[in-house]
Amino acid sequence: MSEAVLYEESDGVVTLTLNEPETRNAISPAIVDALVGHIERINTDMSVRCVIVTGAGDGFSSGGNVKQMRDREGMFGNEPVQIRRGYWYGIQRIPMAMYSLEVPAIAAVNGAAVGAGCDLSLMCDIRLANTKAVFAESFMRVGLVSGDGGAWFLPRVVGYSRAAEMTFTGDFVKADEAERIGLVSRIVPDDQLMDEARKLARRIASNPPHSLRLNKRLLRDSQGVPLPTALEMASCMQALVQSTEDQHEAVSAFLDKRAPEFKGR
């Protein structure tokens, strides 16, 4: 039996590949468990400095399993109170885990990212897309709401008006339009997507690990607090990183015009 999510690590970069191409990487319980487990592992491993999330086969993720919707199976079955708990202890573990992921995450969107698959890409900090990528907040098409946090993530990426249009219509957004509205950072040729994602990930991973993780936390948490609170968080984090050996190494390397050697201390 194949792994639901492949875990590959090289030079401080972890690639997580959704590995159920027979369902176009629909979000299954196995994928939920694997993603959450891998993220917990990454958070405790200071050697990891960046994550790439992508999908096996020709697509990123098709989101929910429509056949299960029809047959009232899995997360789409049972009584309302059980469905609610099923979401909290099921697919909603992904946005909670992705929100708590300490290192930067890049979504390498290699095809369709639909419904919960679109939302998974939104949970990453940066999105790169190939020319075949297409995005859809498609829950309205099957009479649902975004049960996995899309209503929280999408407006923060593209703004409320565009998020409302995507949500209320369920329209598909092709790669060029996704780039225009800021849904993705850039489009790359199909055969270069993973190379470009790895190149960007390595650039990110070349930074001091403690500073990198705290920069991500500061950027994320500052979106939901008043300015004075954000400034207080910044000063506290600054005090922490200024006490690290790596920060002193970064300054020394800059002044000496040499490549720094960070040790995670």
Pair 18, 55: CB distance under 8 Å: yes
The predicted pLDDT at position 2 comes to 78
The predicted pLDDT at position 123 comes to 98
| Domains along the chain with CATH numbers | 5-205 (3.90.226.10), 209-256 (1.10.12)
Pair 106, 53: CB distance under 8 Å: yes
* CA 89/CA 14 separation, integer angstroms: 25
Pair 186, 128: CB distance under 8 Å: yes
The predicted pLDDT at position 1 comes to 57
Pair 58, 111: CB distance under 8 Å: yes
- Closest among 229, 25, 23, 232 to 117, alpha carbons compared: 25
pLDDT block averages, 10 residues each, the chain of length 265: 91 97 94 97 96 96 78 74 89 96 98 97 98 95 91 96 97 97 96 97 96 96 95 96 92 91 87
| pTM for this predicted structure | 0.93
Dihedral, CA atoms, 5, 201, 189, 139, nearest 10 degrees? 50
The predicted pLDDT at position 72 comes to 75
